[in-house]
Each structure stands twice: as C-alpha cells, then as structure tokens.
C-alpha cells in the first residue's frame, strides 16, 4: 500500500468518525431540554399526552330559520350516528330560539364535526359548533327531547279575540277607542298641512246622552 493510499484511508476514517460524533451529538441535543452549567447529562423532554376526548354533545348556535329538527338530523347524520337532538324552543309560541344541542354516539365523530363545521355558512348564518365537556352537560338537557311543542296560531287567536261576543258596554268602549284614534289621525293630517277630507266612519255612534234626573216636583 502506497503513501497516497494510506493518506486517503486516514482521511476517510476521520470523516466517518466526525459524522458519527455529529449524529451522537444531535441525538443528545434532542433528548436534552437544557445543558447544565457544570456539564453532565441534560433532562429529557416529557411531552404531555393529549387529553382523551370523551365529549359526544355539541352546542349548535346561530341556527337559521327553516333548519329545524328534521333538516338538522338529515344534514348531520352523514358524519355518524345521532343519538339525540334538541332545538331550544319557546314554550308559548313553539318558535325556535336559534340554538340547540346534538349528541353523537362516537366522541371522535363529534370532535370532527366541531372542528370542521364550526363557522360553516348555512342560509347566510355562520353555524357556531362547540364541544360540550361531559361535566358541563346539564342533567335536564334532554328532558324535553321527545316532546313536540305545538306552535300557537297567532292569527287564529287574534281572529277569536276580534269575533268574540261582546256586551253593550264592551262594544261602546271599543267604538269610542276607534273614534279617538280617528280623531288623532285627522288632527295629524291637518297639522301636516295636507288638504284631505277623511271619509266618515261607517257605524259611527253618537256620544252618550246625558241622563236627566227628575225630581218629585216634576210630573
């Protein structure tokens, strides 16, 4: 073996040794959180374990008009099996309060829906979807989940109130209120400088006649 070959072999050995030391040093740097001032082995980094998700209940806010129980179930069942669903409603009118709760059987599905569907634009509303921790789920949350609230027909209520039978005193009171509102309307039109002759109300009653008291001297 010549002198040139010996020099080349020594260079290759030094190069391999330097690479090995660099690999060892990089591994030590990864395992060490910091190097102590006096030297010695460093502390290893303990990565915190991710908390296990056990939440299966979702809060859904900004629910648009027309997106109710049937539509919501048909939309979210594409992600997984739905256990329970409830939209908060007014007990008197039955109208939606535009927020509700949804429960999946699988917590992983619930987390995916919360991550992917939050701020989802639906009917010009951004859905607000958040996971509800198990310890924050109210025990009475699903109390009325299977009860259907019949919405009150306000038109029918107003119709019955308008067409109900009234006594003579109630009828006179109603007509007097109508005449009072009509008088105010005529006054506003006149003050506005508008030359307009308002038509007379149909069925207008005359003011009540004053009662005359008779004494014993009068026959």
pLDDT in tens, 60-89: 999 999 898 889 999 999 999 999 999 988
Last residue of a domain, one of 94, 121, 136: 136
The pLDDT assigned to 38 comes to 56
**Residues 20 and 64 occupy one common structural domain:** no
The pLDDT assigned to 209 comes to 45
Residue 119 lies inside a defined structural domain of this protein: yes
What is the pairing mode between strands 96-104 and 57-61?
antiparallel
Contact, 58 vs 102, CB < 8 A?
A: yes
Tell me which H or E stretch contains 58: strand 57-61
Residue 141 lies inside a defined structural domain of this protein: no
pTM above 0.85, yes or no: no
pLDDT over 90 (residue 59): yes
The pLDDT assigned to 114 comes to 92
**Residues 25 and 68 occupy one common structural domain:** no
**Residues 122 and 62 occupy one common structural domain:** yes
Last residue of a domain, one of 85, 116, 136: 136
Average pLDDT over residues 191-203: 79
Residue 35 lies inside a defined structural domain of this protein: yes
What is the tens place of the pLDDT at every residue in 172-185? 898 899 889 988 98
pLDDT over 70 (residue 198): yes
Report in angstroms the alpha-carbon separations of 210 from 107, 176, 207, 213. Answer: 80, 16, 9, 10
Mean pLDDT (the chain) is 78
Name the residue range of residue 1's domain.
Answer: 1-47
pLDDT over 90 (residue 19): no
| Tokens (6 digits) for 124 | 């010009």
Residue 84 lies inside a defined structural domain of this protein: yes
**Residues 81 and 15 occupy one common structural domain:** no
Residue 150 lies inside a defined structural domain of this protein: no
**Residues 130 and 70 occupy one common structural domain:** yes
Residue 159 lies inside a defined structural domain of this protein: no
Burial class of residue 127 (count of CB atoms within 10 Å of its CB; 0-12, 13-18, 19+): middle
Residue 142 lies inside a defined structural domain of this protein: no
Number of domains in the chain: 3
Last residue of a domain, one of 136, 157, 187: 136
How many whole angstroms from its chain centre is CA 96? 11
The pLDDT assigned to 129 comes to 93
| Tokens (6 digits) for 38 | 């006096």
Residue 103: which pLDDT band, with cuts at 50, 70 and 90?
very high
**Residues 28 and 93 occupy one common structural domain:** no
40 secondary structure, DSSP code: S
**Residues 65 and 32 occupy one common structural domain:** no
What is the tens place of the pLDDT at every residue in 24-34? 566 555 555 55
Q: Is the dihedral of CA 17, 19, 24, 28 positive or negative?
A: positive
CA–CA separation, 120 vs 97, rounded Å? 19
pLDDT over 70 (residue 144): yes
**Residues 20 and 68 occupy one common structural domain:** no
The pLDDT assigned to 61 comes to 94
């Amino acid at each position: 073996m010549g002198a040139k070959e010996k020099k080349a072999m020594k260079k290759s050995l030094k190069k391999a040794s330097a690479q090995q030391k660099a690999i060892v040093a990089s591994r030590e740097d990864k395992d060490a959180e910091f190097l102590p001032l006096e030297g010695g082995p460093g502390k290893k980094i303990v990565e915190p374990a991710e908390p296990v998700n056990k939440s299966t209940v979702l809060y859904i806010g900004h629910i648009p008009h027309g997106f109710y129980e049937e539509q919501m179930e048909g939309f979210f069942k594409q992600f997984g099996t739905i256990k329970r669903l409830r939209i908060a409603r007014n007990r008197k009118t039955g109208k939606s309060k535009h927020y509700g709760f949804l429960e999946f059987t699988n917590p992983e599905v619930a987390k995916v829906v919360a991550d992917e569907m939050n701020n989802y634009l639906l009917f010009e509303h951004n859905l607000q979807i958040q996971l509800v921790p198990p310890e924050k789920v109210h025990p009475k949350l699903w109390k009325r989940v299977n009860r259907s609230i019949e919405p009150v027909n306000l038109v029918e209520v107003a119709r019955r109130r308008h067409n109900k039978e009234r006594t003579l005193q109630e009828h006179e009171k109603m007509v007097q209120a109508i005449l009072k509102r009509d008088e105010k309307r005529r006054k506003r039109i006149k003050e506005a400088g508008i030359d307009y002759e308002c038509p007379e109300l149909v069925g207008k009653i005359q003011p009540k006649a004053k009662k005359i008291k008779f004494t014993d001297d009068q026959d």
